[in-house]
Copies of this chain bind each other. A is one copy, B any other.
């Protein structure tokens, strides 16, 4: 089984926890290994596992070549923590196997998000919940919720959140590598003809393969992601509501979300109208965001300072800007948020949860 040299002593001499990374060879897994190699080292042995198809490959972690093992129950023998960067079906099958072998499972997939006995963790918002893991499993929310929840959690702590109206601007890579590749392939097809996009139907006729998207994405926006839910709602729009309620501990929170895919490769954005229990102040809200760990305030439009996906891509924090108090409701704020859907939106949040567990296991 692949592993880095270990078990070894942690920075304080005590044995540091053993970590298993499941899905190491995927797009999110690659970001995870980068994070494990660059963040403060919390682990002793680190084991990598992936599907049999990808097993046997060698990847670098913490500067050491590490062989990727085929996913099997033995991967979890002696592991203290198992991070999962795999599809929901794989996580649903293997997280319990990791728990059965004594590991705490940290899953970034949707498999356990709605389970009442699985805490949904965003370390900047509800870190204390990592100690309460009745099933031995901890989960993180989806990438669109993660593009805004850290900033909203900070504002909720100050003003008491009551209602959210969210419109998303979601990147192609939220649909995986195939999503990003499809967008680039479509852009190459439409890039040449400058009359395109002026005449009805042209784009639809030219972009070719739609890939994972239900309509052309190049020179277009697509107001439909996920699967059909009830009464015209999309599954991701319903998940944003469920996840915001669970992470913030607000089962009565009013949430209306509209999910829209845009021709951006990486980094999700959201326009948020947030209604609170008390009056808000623009400057104070900006200060709350500027002081919040995991948030960068970029909010001076007169100097052309506002967050865009091209600023957030490849970075860890939530970028916050366009903070305005509603002109017609002194309890409401309108703001615009951006976050990298592959980092905080996936790998980073899972890695942060695992670090909290590691600290909890080595008091």
Q: How far is the CA of A214 from the CA of B304 in the complex (A)?
A: 6
Binary contact track A318-352/B, C-beta < 8 Å → 1, others 0:
00011111111100101010000000000000000
Would you give the shortest CB distance from A7 to chain B, in whole angstroms?
A: 35
Q: How far is the CA of A79 from the CA of B221 in the complex (A)?
A: 43
Residue of B nearest to A190 (CB): B187
Binary contact track A220-263/B, C-beta < 8 Å → 1, others 0:
11111000100111100010010000000000011110101011
Interface size class of A (residues with CB under 8 A): 35 or more
- Whether, in the assembled complex, A188 has its beta carbon less than 8 Å from a beta carbon of chain B, the answer is yes
Q: Is the CB of B304 within 8 A of A198?
A: no
Q: How far is the CA of A163 from the CA of B165 in the complex (A)?
A: 12
- Which one of A45-53, A82-90, A132-140, A265-273 contacts B? A265-273
Residue of B nearest to A342 (CB): B198
Q: Is the CB of A219 within 8 A of B327?
A: no
Q: Is the CB of A255 within 8 A of B219?
A: no
Q: How far is the CA of A187 from the CA of B189 in the complex (A)?
A: 11
Q: Is the CB of A265 within 8 A of B322?
A: no
Q: Given A169-B260, A310-B203, does the pair A269, B223 have CB atoms closer than 8 Å? A: yes
User: From residue 297 to 329 of chain A, which have CB atoms closer than 8 A to chain B?
Assistant: 299, 301-302, 304, 306-315, 321-329
Q: How far is the CA of A339 from the CA of B173 in the complex (A)?
A: 27
**Interchain CB contact (< 8 A) of A310 among B194, B215, B233:** B215
Q: How far is the CA of A108 from the CA of B304 in the complex (A)?
A: 28
Q: Given A194-B184, A264-B197, A271-B223, does the pair A310, B232 have CB atoms closer than 8 Å? A: no
- Enumerate chain B residues within 8 angstroms of A327, measured Cβ to Cβ: 233, 238, 241, 255-256
- Enumerate chain B residues within 8 angstroms of A163, measured Cβ to Cβ: 328
Residue of B nearest to A207 (CB): B310
- Enumerate chain B residues within 8 angstroms of A282, measured Cβ to Cβ: 231-232
Q: How far is the CA of A324 from the CA of B259 in the complex (A)?
A: 13
- Enumerate chain B residues within 8 angstroms of A311, measured Cβ to Cβ: 200-201, 204
- Enumerate chain B residues within 8 angstroms of A169, measured Cβ to Cβ: 169, 221, 260, 262
Q: Given A220-B309, A265-B198, does the pair A232, B271 have CB atoms closer than 8 Å? A: no
Q: Is the CB of A228 within 8 A of B313?
A: no
- Enumerate chain B residues within 8 angstroms of A233, measured Cβ to Cβ: 324, 327
Q: Is the CB of A314 within 8 A of B231?
A: no
Q: Is the CB of B223 within 8 A of A336?
A: yes
Would you give the shortest CB distance from A157 to chain B, in whole angstroms?
A: 22
Q: Is the CB of B310 within 8 A of A216?
A: yes
Q: How far is the CA of A262 from the CA of B321 in the complex (A)?
A: 17
- Show 5 A/B contacts (Cβ-Cβ < 8 Å), sorted by A: A187-B190, A200-B315, A201-B311, A215-B304, A262-B262
